[in-house]
Structure 1
Amino acid sequence: MDSRIFKERSSVNEAREKFLGEISSLERTDIVAINEGVGRVLATSILAPRNVPHYRRSAMDGYAVRSTDILGASPTNPVMLLIQDEVNEGICCPMNTGAYVPDAADAVLMEEDTICIGDMIEVRAQVHPGKNIGDIGEDVRQNEIIFYKGHLLRPCDIAVLASLGIREIKVYSRALVAIIPTGNDLILLESSREVPPPGKTLDINSLMIGLYASQWGALPRYCAIVPEDRELIRKAISENIDADFIVISGGTSVGEKDYVPEVVASMGRKLVHGVGLSPGKPTALGIIGDVPVLCMPGYPAAGLVALFAFGKPAIRKKGNIPQIPDITVKARLTGKINSREGYVSYARVILEGNTARPLMTAGAGILSSIAKSNGFVIIPENVEGYEEGNEVDVVLIE
């Protein structure tokens, strides 16, 4: 049955491009305080309302001076200056880094180039005009574009906004992701503290999907477990069609009660069912109205791979979040990795220094193998595995 159902199996790249091509980014926006802005995406460019700094400031600890007063000063030809609170001919003023430089001064002399003698200093170096002074607008010029629309805000960006006196920003709304678990064998995670009876499984997928959705910049909506029934699945989707993205866990394979792909097709369009992904072959992708739907396998490891391959880029596109390349490191394999030709395989490995120890390439239901690993070695569909000693790219899971 599997070969019949999936005889038109899509490649991972084809499936991803087709799916992302159907997704439109959100236009909704929010006004948020800057301290809530980390990880949000600007919905408009920001112009600097003022200069930073807005005054001339000292770049060193030392003394504000007139450069002409110490022209030619050296260890063998020192110049004496009086220390006071104002700068004038023959008079200097003490400076701390970042302090306001008096208008009469045109340079700051480093403290290391002086010897303090009572209320005077012996100057042992000359400075040129502007030396060790940060000019007005040195960091940011008024009306300069600080960040462009679409910029993903980091903590250091928030600090820049704060320095400009900006307290609120306009950002794109977070995508709302509805998470619908399906299966007659599932038990609510919150309702059972005991070991489930044989044949029953805790719904851990919803929690996993929701946590990753949050990490990727979305807002998760957790839905009730839906039994393996066409009309109940249809009802659950209909009740969540107001979401920006729907993830359905389970019911995607080729069993008699795997109804999810056909229900999605009846309500909208099924783009893909069956992907050259290992684990994760039964993944289905669809669109209902303008809401993208990821139907991922119920086996946790397979579901997570499908979530990384399709959910992550889809959530980011929906939420206007820049597609950030995966973090990869080079490592040498301590064992052989087998893969299946025609499938993109996600092999789990443990990084140990500059080596990668293969943990598992099969076992779609064994989530602990991912928790124990540091990352994936993603094997292309046209490669039949890697030999021990090969240098590979390891994609870090976190």
Structure 2
Amino acid sequence: MSDVRESGFKERTRVANARERLLDIPPIERTERISLSAADGRTVAEPVDAKRNIPHYARAAMDGWAVRAEDTFGASDRSPAILRPGESVGPNTAVRVHTGSELPAGADAVVMVEETEQLNDELEVFDAVAEGENVAPVGEDVDAGQRLYEPGHQLRPSDLGLLKGTGIDTVEAVERPEVAIIPTGEELVQADPDPGEVVETNRFTVSRLAERWGADVKRRSIVTDDHEALRAAVERDLTRDVIVTTGGSSVGERDLIPEVVSE
């Protein structure tokens, strides 16, 4: 007695085996240069290196005062260092800065604003800072020339932001797989089915899945169960990377897809 699970098909393939066969297909080698605006979800085809540092200037990491660290040595709540607010940093002179501000020439540290008090033309500093404290140096996040992504990396929105920040506007990406979807069956209609007719939905479902996974999809019209029509439809898309047919794969007289594919 035949296994009821095998009825209706000339040949069946376990999902694990089908998946293995698909993953054994060599990857696409065609590439294209695309802008970052079109790169979300795309796969990098060559190494990507940063073009500039992030940050590209020494910047204040806190709101406060840019100072020479040596002018704050020994400062405390009981014995504050006394500096002069000014337009440039020099001996015992401080410049007001905000988070992200460029560190003024002559400064090598930032005192947090909470650790200071301005009284007329004097600035009391209640905390000693070390050289480089509260300062983001050039290249702290990314160094110019640093490798960001290797071939095969699929770009995410956060990756695109990083690329933009490091001076990159385009990337070399693997071309999208070209997928043709061919629905087959005499009973298929687009809408409002009569008895014996079925609304065609596989093309809609499969195309959305393929696009979600990164494909460039061509949706073909419904092809009737006619050998020559089916053969012409398949031959038309033989230059594409993938052809998906739906229907016509059982063992009935109108199930002609296996025969056409074999030819």
Q: Same fold (TM over 0.5)?
A: yes
Match of 1:322 in 2: none
> What letter matches 2:113 in structure 1?
E
Identity fraction in percent: 40
Distance 1:180 1:186 in 2: 12
Give the aligned partner of residue 186 of structure 1.
188
**Partner residue, 2:225:** 228
Q: Does 1:197 align with 2:194?
A: yes
- Deviations 1:225-266 (CA, angstroms, capped at 9, x unpaired): 111122211110001112111111111223232121222122
Structure 2 counterpart of 1:19: 22
1:56 deviation in Å?
0.6
* CA distances 1:197-237 after superposition (whole Å, capped 9, x unpaired): 11112222111111111111111101011111222111100
* In 2: Cα distance, 1:213 partner to 1:113 partner: 58
Does 2:154 align with 1:157?
Answer: no
User: Which residue of structure 2 aligns with residue 238 of structure 1?
Assistant: 235
In proportion to residue count, which structure has more strand?
1
- In structure 2, the partner of 1:362 is none
Task: State the TM-score, normalizing by the size of structure 1.
Answer: 0.62
Displacement of 1:149 after TM fit? 1.3
Distance 1:214 1:19, change over 3 A: closer
CA contact (8 A) 2:10 2:251 kept: no
Opposite residue 93 of structure 1, the aligned amino acid is V
Equivalent residue, structure 1, for 2:253 = 256
Corresponding residue to 1:148 among 140, 147, 150 = 150
Q: Which residue of 1 aligns with 2:114?
A: 112
Task: Find the residue that maps to 1:171 and give its secondary structure.
Answer: strand
Output the CA distance in 2 between the equivalents of 1:152 and 1:196: 42
The equivalent residue for 1:286 is none
Mapped partners of 2:70, 2:241: distance in 1: 67
Tell me, in whole angstroms, the C-alpha distance in 2 between the residues paired with 1:7 and 1:261: 9
Q: Which runs of 5+ in 1 are unaligned?
A: 267-398
Secondary structure, aligned partner of 1:211? helix
Q: Is the counterpart of residue 97 in structure 1 residue 83 in structure 2?
A: no
Query: Aligned AA for 1:36?
Result: A
Q: CA deviation at 1:15?
A: 2.4
What's the secondary structure of 2:21's corresponding residue? helix
Report the number of matched residues. 260
RMSD of Structure 2 on Structure 1 (CA): 1.8
Contact 2:50/2:167 (CA < 8 Å) preserved in 1?
Answer: no
Q: Does residue 1:58 correspond to 2:55, yes or no? A: no
C-alpha distance in structure 2 between counterparts of 1:177 and 1:88, whole Å = 67
Q: Residue 122 of structure 1: CA displacement?
A: 1.4
- Report what 2:210 is aligned to: 213
Q: Where in structure 2 are the equivalents of 1:59-98 lying within 5 Å? A: 59-98=61-100
2:168 aligns to what? Answer: 166
